[in-house]
A = this chain, B = another copy of it.
Amino acid sequence: MLDIKIVKTTKPKEKPKKDHPLGFGKIFTDHMFIMNYTEGKGWHDPRVVPFDNLSLSPAAMVFHYGQEMFEGLKAYKTEDGKTLLFRPEMNAKRANNTNKRLCIPEIKEEDFVQAIKTVVKVDEDWIPTAPGTSLYIRPFIIATDEFLGVNPSKTYLFIIILSPSGAYYESGLAPVGIWIEDEYVRAVRGGIGEAKTGGNYAASLAAQVKAHDEGFSQVLWLDGVERKYIEEVGAMNIFFKIDGVVVTPQLNGSILPGVTRDSVIALCKSWGLTVEERKISIDEIYDAYKTGKLEEVWGTGTAAVISPVGKFRWKDEVMTIQDGKIGELSQKIYDTITGIQLGKVTDTMNWTIEVK
């Protein structure tokens, strides 16, 4: 158990108006959680303080060698006023996998979850309640040694900031266009692909700009070795329904093990569907498309929960999936998960935790 000190702001900010479009990750609440790490002393001084700028040496390692990790999850307000988190222990576990890969000291899972609960409780009034909105929670760790050597830092900051965020799809689920990237590579086995760390996202920007310029909203990455196996989308894992079977790339070390991915697999299995986690080549998808067996495609991630894919661009070809409409299964998964998150659907999986 952390002994978290709470210092409340004396200058609360004005909260966004009810009908003000929140967007994503642009507005921040009144407080943040901070905890320091010092070699020899461990993690110490956990505290909730007013949201404020960080003061760091320009030589702080994070600015030079990218030793940083982050997580992302959400808090939801139910109709009867409860605050729910969705599987935060999964984020705590994944955070430590990232930490290990990046040589960042681990944080006890229960401390990680306690820190989230504490700061969310303090800023509970910031959780928006309009349909589709939520409070995005961003835990992250940065290396702070004032030293230009390439070495694991001896000091770190663990911080949690909170951002009230709008509905991803303002008017219900809307299919997205996906660009299958054949030039740039995001990650390779042996690399840092399965870690949630800045370098992977920095590496993804150039392809994303290219995809946007061509009118596609996200990039689908192929493996770095053979460039033929499907990995994941920019900030989502990907699922296919082929001839009645649900298929998704296996966790191979170069893709992020999504919490939503795990939840979708569990749900589909509970409904009696066959789910295969395995290698999927782009050729297999193309064949399924050509023979009319590619029934549904969707991305999974915390931000949008489910993103139906309406079309794929692969080299000179554009594949349109199910006439660009939302699939039945995609819709059912979306309704079920968001229903559980908002306390409207019975949580038979025990996925939600109430913040008290």
Contact = CB atoms under 8 A, between A and B. Distances in A.
A62 B62 contact: yes
Contact of A192 (B68, B189, B203): B203
A163 interface: yes
A250 interface: no
Interface in A46-72: 51, 53-59, 62-68, 70
Contact of A152 (B24, B26, B209): B209
B54 A56 contact: yes
Nearest to A34: B58
A81 interface: no
Given A185-B190, A199-B198, A224-B190, A147 B205 contact: no
B191 A224 contact: yes
A161 B59 contact: yes
Interface string A96-122: 000011110000000000000000000
Interface in A183-211: 183-192, 197-206, 208-209
A102 B205 contact: yes
Contact of A188 (B62, B163, B185): B185
Interface stretch (A37-45, A135-143, A241-249, A324-332): A135-143
B202 A234 contact: no
A308 to B, nearest CB: 20
Interface residues of A, number: 66
B59 A25 contact: yes
Counting chain B CB atoms within 10 Å of each CB, the highest count among A63, A187, A200 belongs to A63
A190 B199 contact: no
Given A28-B59, A148-B25, A200 B199 contact: yes
B68 A66 contact: yes
A1 interface: no
A159 interface: yes
Interface-centre pick from A70, A183, A198 (highest chain B CB count, 10 A)? A198
A64 B160 CA distance: 12
A285 B17 CA distance: 67
B185 A191 contact: yes
B66 A197 contact: yes
Contacts of A150: 201, 204-205, 208, 234-235
A149 interface: yes
A245 to B, nearest CB: 31
A169 to B, nearest CB: 16
A280 B59 CA distance: 36
A101 B147 contact: no
Contacts of A204: 150
Interface of A: 24-26, 28, 32, 51, 53-59, 62-68, 70, 100-103, 136, 138, 140, 142, 146-152, 159, 161, 163, 183-192, 197-206, 208-209, 224-225, 227, 234-235
17 contacts: A26-B146, A26-B148, A53-B55, A53-B58, A54-B56, A56-B56, A66-B198, A66-B201, A66-B202, A67-B201, A68-B202, A102-B205, A150-B204, A150-B205, A186-B191, A188-B188, A188-B191
Given A58-B140, A102-B202, A150-B204, 8 more contacts: A26-B146, A26-B147, A53-B57, A54-B58, A66-B66, A138-B148, A150-B201, A198-B199
